[in-house]
A and B are shown apart, each in its own frame.
Chain A
Amino acid sequence: MACLRAFSRELRHRSAMLGDRAALRERILRAGGRIVRLGGCGDYPFGSAPLVAVDGSTHGFGGSYPFVLHLFRAAARSSRGERVVEHGFLSPLVAAHREEVARVAAREGVPRDYALLLVRDRQLCRLEVRAAAAAVAAFRPALVLFDGGFLRYAHHAPEEWEEYCATARAAGAVSVGVIEEAASGGLARAVVGEGFYDRDLLFGLLDPGEALFLPPVKRGVYTVFARLSRHPQAVACDFLPEHSQQAPAVMEYLYRITPSDSRGIPLFLDLVDAEVRLDEREVELLLTTWVEADLRERFLVPHRARRTY
């Protein structure tokens, strides 16, 4: 009990460091932030060019390395109903995959099963970016929403991401990465110092419909924070630096297409998320259809899955 009391004390201490809401807003404004109330007309700022949303999903199944299988699905969907869907899988039982895992394990100095997770994230990012690039080429959208921040793509699939950015710039497709958990720390660092994530800072800070614009950046990612629904957690929206100009209009539109009593994610992105999600049942169904029962039981079912209670 004592440890929990201490834990709670520490949290309270940290919360106090952030100061009260008014003071915090004040500090943010002083750091160059601009809090804007959204809720203008919210019209789609790009005429007739469609909107595209991109998301991916992965689901793993199996016991111990290497008897593991990860399935991937990524989709880019336009507001006119067209889709690009990419599928993939990863299993160390496949020689090529095993080699890649070994390479990453050696390079990063981590065990193979951990390396496998890195490779999995890479794969998923690659698929998403590939779907997005294909959608930009095929549907000529003016706005592309990603489910997740740009740093993730830049980190896990740097080549593909660079290529995508070039395509998007050339095609004039404004890309936005919507992050529900702002796990970044840039804003927090600038305002209160180390030890906090942006989300901690932003919780309850903005009023519903408020957006926090920071000064434009030259390189990397331009991020806008906004509370798009009544939920107190703000989301972060990544833009490419050269699209920071369009950010205010885009944020107005995103505010418009976010249901006010949702968790604050634009509806269209949520729809693609739901469509793409590989859930437990689906994966199990696929496996029971394609892998014989005895092999499944021997290699893939972790013994803990057989618990009765």
Chain B
Amino acid sequence: MQVVGTTTQQEVWVASRDRKFVINELLLIEDPERENPVGEVVSTSSLNRYLPLAGEKTPLVDEGVLAGLRAVGYRIEEEEIHLARVRLLQEAGTPVTVGARVRRPAFHEVARYLLPARYRDGLVLGVIRGTGHLTSQLPGDLRDVLRLYDPERGLYPQDGVPFIFDHHQMHQYPHIGIFGGSGSGKSFGLRVLLEELMERRIPAVVLDPHLEMDFSEPFPGLPAEFVRDYRDRFAVFTVGVDVGIDFTELTSRELAGLLDAVSSLTEAMTNAVETLHRKRDSLVSFGSNLRDLIRALEEEKVLQAVAEDKVADPVERERIKRYKDLLARYKDRVGGVSTLNAISWRLNFLEKEGIFTAGTAVLEEALHRRQLAVVRGPVRLLGVYAAYLFRRLYTRRREFQDARARGQEAPWFPPFVLATDEAHHFAPRGEREVPARNIIREIAQEGRKYGVFLILATQRPALLDDTVTAQLNTKIIFRTVRALDIAAIEQETDLVREELARLPYLASGNAFVSSALVGRTVPVRIRAARTASPHVVNPFDELAQRAGEADRRLLEVIAPLLPLGAFNLDLHLPTIRAKLGTGISFQELLDRLRVLAREGHLRVEPTPFGEQFLPGR
């Protein structure tokens, strides 16, 4: 291998006659004046200038000529030249010497580029692609630390240098983005990251709209030495059941957002909510104000006719006084009865969902126990709830930090990580008001100071809020097909043209990690997760399985009754119905027997009275 062509301080071409280049492999250039720079293969090609494309100047060579040359041991196919574009990991002071020899480096020569200084307790996310040949040179503590997975190959051993993310550095470069289309391995990537957080007992909250964040089941087929029991490292909370909202802590805007999540609010409704809601309102005080105001508006005419000091019943007098008060205060500011009614049913709905019955105390305890808190709920509700929850947790942590900064005693609240998939729902770009966006923005910008970090996964980076995207210092980018998303990635990362061009073709589980922390883009294959997502049963397999079960049951029932046929089916039909527990008709039963016969479970013989079903062979 040799450096050829024009070189620059950043990039060189390397050619080889006998070896094809592997994308992403590291190569060492023997150029002592530039301290033997190391580079990464960013694109590869092979060409045979004697086998040109049709239409080029050179004539195509006839087979007779080649046969004549093969006779003396010459094969034109071997004239292939392999070329690689190699990007230096660190810029050289002056252009690399043309003609310099190039070789594959030994592990110790490139270790500093591949591993962070504190690799021993960083997050082990996968292997660095193109480092396969270094596997045998790895020190013991880096060898066989993970398994890889590929749908074709299944699980297979570690093949390359582990990619270790030094999370201690998140103190400086705090947030992580995970981008990739469906099936790209993005969800697996998030799972692996969360497993690593649990492994290191870093408190975290993950929103789980798809009910897939469960870590109790080991990944099927994973060898015992890689299995970890995370059951005491995470806790699941369902909004409205275990966790909810402390109504008194809601801001007017949050409340409006919450009601909007049930069903869209009109401008008038939003205005009414913001007018009616007061700081520290409880569910009871707000609810009764709302209901009383509705009644007052309905009875307005009657009320105006009554002079309350003339009312004898003190309770009634109080009521009328209160209604008049409400009318005086709000009448002109909250719209009509229909507006208030619309708010009222939304509030009732939330109340019935139980969202106001529980607070966040149990979840906060889980963070204190350094667990991963999984928060479940319907997507729309989760958006609103996240806004509330994130703000509350963030405020807790901030209060502690601020108090400490002022030299005051304050109850400890741990630093933590907030994670979610479908992040573009929670913090979308654009004008539309979305409840969680502001707090996510705030954490994106300020979280570092307080030790609050974000992990935001999305398949639509183009739809993620700009301010937030700009603050994601580490981006893990899986296969992305949409041009718009690729354009967003191009803007927000240091991926170069070749890498961007590869994005639509990345195999599932392969990703580029673009990180201010590493200082360059690293091609990574994410490791196999240690745990499995609970709903991995294919719905079509499920259908087939269900159908099979029904057939088995029917066979069991009819087995003692065989032979059956049109002549005696009537006779046995009541028994069969009773045993199956369904009201199957004569014709249905006959059809099903025919199907069973066609599938070979029964044998069928013609008789003078029609077909007869016998036990299958």
Please give the residue numbers on chain A whose beta carbons come within 8 Å of chain B beta carbons, in ascending order: 42-44, 50-51, 79-81, 253, 256-262, 267-268, 271, 274, 285-286, 289
Contact = CB atoms under 8 A, between A and B. Distances in A.
B64 interface: yes
B225 interface: no
A115 to B, nearest CB: 32
The 7 A-B pairs of least Cβ separation, nearest first, read A79-B74, A79-B72, A256-B68, A257-B68, A51-B72, A80-B73, A44-B71
Contact of B59 (A253, A257, A261, A289): A261
B357 to A, nearest CB: 77
A274 B50 CA distance: 10
A14 B76 CA distance: 44
Nearest to B7: A289
Interface in B15-73: 49-50, 59-62, 64-65, 68-69, 71-73
Contacts of A271: 50, 76, 79
B285 interface: no
B275 interface: no
A43 B73 CA distance: 13
Given A260-B62, A268-B74, A253 B49 contact: no
B313 interface: no
A256 B74 contact: no
Most chain A beta-carbon contacts within 10 A, residue among B49, B61, B74: B74
Most chain A beta-carbon contacts within 10 A, residue among B59, B73, B97: B73
Contacts of A262: 59
B576 interface: no
Contacts of A50: 72-73
Interface residues of B, number: 21
Nearest to B67: A256
Nearest to B6: A285
Contact of A44 (B6, B49, B50, B72): B72
A258 B71 CA distance: 14
A51 B71 CA distance: 10
A294 B59 CA distance: 43
Contact of A258 (B65, B72, B76, B98): B65
B263 to A, nearest CB: 70
B73 A257 contact: no
B49 A274 contact: yes
Contacts of B79: 271
B415 to A, nearest CB: 54
Interface of B: 5-6, 49-50, 59-62, 64-65, 68-69, 71-74, 76, 78-79, 97-98
Contact of A80 (B50, B71, B74, B76): B74
A268 B69 contact: yes
Contacts of B61: 259, 267
Contacts of B73: 50, 79-81
Contacts, number: 53
B162 to A, nearest CB: 39
A214 B59 CA distance: 32
B29 to A, nearest CB: 15
Nearest to A256: B68
A253 B74 CA distance: 14
A253 B62 contact: no
Contact of B62 (A80, A259, A289): A259
A258 to B, nearest CB: 7
A261 B74 CA distance: 21
A257 B69 contact: yes
A262 B62 CA distance: 10
Given A259-B59, A267-B61, A268-B74, A285 B69 contact: no
Nearest to A268: B69
A290 to B, nearest CB: 9
A271 to B, nearest CB: 6
Contacts of B5: 285
Contact of A256 (B6, B64, B78): B64
A253 B59 CA distance: 20
A81 B50 contact: no
Contacts of A286: 98
19 contacts: A42-B64, A42-B68, A43-B71, A50-B72, A51-B74, A79-B72, A79-B73, A80-B73, A253-B68, A256-B68, A257-B69, A259-B60, A259-B62, A260-B62, A261-B59, A267-B65, A268-B69, A268-B74, A274-B49
B34 to A, nearest CB: 14
Contact of B65 (A43, A79, A81, A259): A259
Contacts of B6: 285
A98 to B, nearest CB: 28
Nearest to A258: B65
Nearest to A257: B68
A81 B78 CA distance: 9
A71 to B, nearest CB: 14
Nearest to B79: A271
Contacts of B49: 274
A82 B74 CA distance: 10
B59 A256 contact: no
A260 to B, nearest CB: 6
B83 to A, nearest CB: 16
B74 to A, nearest CB: 4
Contacts of A44: 68, 71-72
A11 B59 CA distance: 32
A256 B65 contact: yes
Contacts of A267: 61, 65, 69
A189 B6 CA distance: 52
A290 B50 CA distance: 31
Nearest to B64: A256
Nearest to A43: B71
Contacts of B98: 285-286, 289
Nearest to A261: B59
Given A42-B64, A257-B69, 9 more contacts: A43-B71, A50-B73, A81-B73, A256-B68, A259-B60, A259-B65, A268-B74, A271-B79, A289-B97
Contacts of B97: 289
